[in-house]
Structure 1
């Protein structure tokens, strides 16, 4: 059995700076959200998080049968792009276990500002609803409606509707993958790329990998914690865990989805989800690339400026998004392995 790498010492050093912050209560999603939001705000000072001066605008998008969703548009410069500028466009979905996070949170707002600036793209980030107050399928429907709005308004936003990517982190990666499927099944608008970071793609938890996380946390405990979040999101109906828009890795077919780049971390229990998705996409004839960061954890990619691997992932992601300016590579048809 492969040995687990030690946690990157740069991560350990960074974690010491936040060790005094209270740990959110996993049993109470509302209290967890409040405490996590306070911790996020304090991190601005602790880590000196940069919030680049870029133009933004908030809009409200109607969602059929579900709560409307607020979206924030981020331009790459302090001035908004002009209609027809033809910049690449990305729908970006924050993570937080479906229960916390948002576009007003310091960390996520700073991340979207930085990526828009560095990649030279327009980012549209929906502030999808939190569970358990609002449950599936509201969140994927909100994100899909935001995607439809972004593509339909691309010209007005200074973007090109033919140079579109969808990205997400953790639970946001789940929703990003779901939106690519909803688009394939409903409107089939052109999506050039899906970029997923430490995504949760199988809510049955069958691909959860506790082996590399922490020997002090048995797999059964880790799975129990994960299922608590799943129940918050999906409710009591266990059958929903296999719904393709809840667990994209469980979909009957992944054919026709956009090319993917999936980032995983060695010491992340969700590593199995992301890497299984890369293999499943490739088997379905979809160009897919998986990048695993050794010694990294589920959240370490957010520690730019403190963890070298986090800075490398940011540069790699930015370079990947900049390929939206190029003509896409056309690969010869791949023989489908899974039939």
Structure 2
């Protein structure tokens, strides 16, 4: 099969070709679109042979004042639930899906959490937020905050250590994870050791969206229109003020001082690469230790092609290594002058 994009990793091209038979027009109805996405996820996981690791899990529901209840799923690193006080690292994670699709029952995300929990020797708490457009901002950050608070309060009884706590997410989930770090700084200031953001969307004004030079074959104007449609579904059509709200656009917070250390991963062929890389610069300018990695030849979603794309395996191993490292003493970096 000829490569459409000369910049794209050929391993992605090969994996995409295997999944092409599952591509069908997406329904306009949001519920039907989610059902179709769930089926595509199931078929893709089976076609790619992505393993479903046998680990213990437990579901919970958290009340969120003024909003729908939020679900979460706890993943332990083995087939047995850890004993209370076992002191394992705890990683709170939010899935991606443009605020409109996916969830903790999505087989692809479930496989990811199982694999990472087992490999990292850590507890992963996967949080679920209500989907747009039926539910709109600020429902989602408030739900994610409630899930994070629950994780802190129950960490010890789950077998974790609240002093070895990290938070993360991919795409829209990365947006929400970053929002929770801001909420935490202004509220209870729990000690978050690390935030892990995979291809995050952190500026919903789209001022940092980098759609040029991607060679996707889709005009810049269309890419921006598609992105704007998702943002309007999340924030409400025409809600320009919400786009600048720091809980919708964490990059636009007045200050990033005091936020947790960050690991940010972006992809060369992803319009959101500009968001993640600008956020890295904002954090380091504020004196926050941060690392940003741009994966060349990769797309917004290619990180899910584990076992088929070497870069996807590297992303997975990098996240796993960062979670595992929570078990060791944190590094103390010098305070930067003139921050």
Q: Calculate the TM-score normalised by the size of structure 2.
A: 0.96
Map Cα deviations across residues 88-120 of structure 1 (whole Å, 9 max, x no partner).
001010000000011111100000001110001
Going from structure 1 to structure 2, the CA distance change for 1:215 and 1:78 (only over 3 Å counts) comes to closer
Structure-1 residue corresponding to 2:268: 266
Question: Which residue is 2:306 aligned to?
Answer: 304
* Corresponding position of 1:149: 150
Structure-2 change in CA distance of 1:43 and 1:80 (3 Å): same
Q: Distance between the aligned counterparts of 2:284 and 2:24, measured in 1?
A: 39
Which of 240, 243, 252 is residue 242 of structure 2 equivalent to? Answer: 240
Spell out the pairing of 1:3-152 with structure 2 (5 A cutoff).
Answer: 6-25=7-26, 27-152=28-153
Verify the 8 A CA contact 2:268 2:297 in the aligned structure 1: yes
Q: Is 1:332 equivalent to 2:334 in the alignment?
A: yes
- The verdict on how the C-alpha distance between 1:16 and 1:204 changes in structure 2, with shifts beyond 3 A counting, is same
Q: Which runs of 5+ in 2 are unaligned?
A: none
Contact 2:7/2:215 (CA < 8 Å) preserved in 1? Answer: no
Partner of 2:214: 213
TM-score (normalised: structure 1) = 0.96
Q: 1:295 to 1:56 in 2, by over 3 A?
A: same
Preserved contact between residue 24 and residue 31 of structure 1 (Cα < 8 Å)? no
- Residue 238 and residue 103 in structure 1: after superposition, are their counterparts in 2 closer, same or farther (change >3 A)? same
Tell me how far apart the structure 2 counterparts of residues 23 and 259 of structure 1 sit (CA, whole Å). 41
Q: 2:282 aligns with which of 280, 283, 304?
A: 280
Q: Shift of residue 29 of structure 1?
A: 3.0
Assess if the C-alpha contact under 8 Å between 1:59 and 1:71 holds in 2. yes
Alignment partner of 2:141: what SS? helix
Q: Is the 8 A contact 1:58 1:72 kept in 2?
A: yes
* Other structure's SS at 1:100 match: coil
Aligned residues: 334
SS of corresponding position for 2:192: coil
Report the secondary structure of 2:137's partner residue.
Answer: coil
Deviates more, 1:291-300 or 1:34-43: 34-43
Task: Report Cα offsets for 1:227-264 as digits up to 9, x if no partner.
Answer: 00001000132210000000001111111100000001
Q: Check the 8 A contact 1:61/1:70 in 2, yes or no.
A: yes
**Structure 2: how far apart are the matches of 1:215 and 1:166?**
32
Q: SS at the partner of 2:135?
A: coil
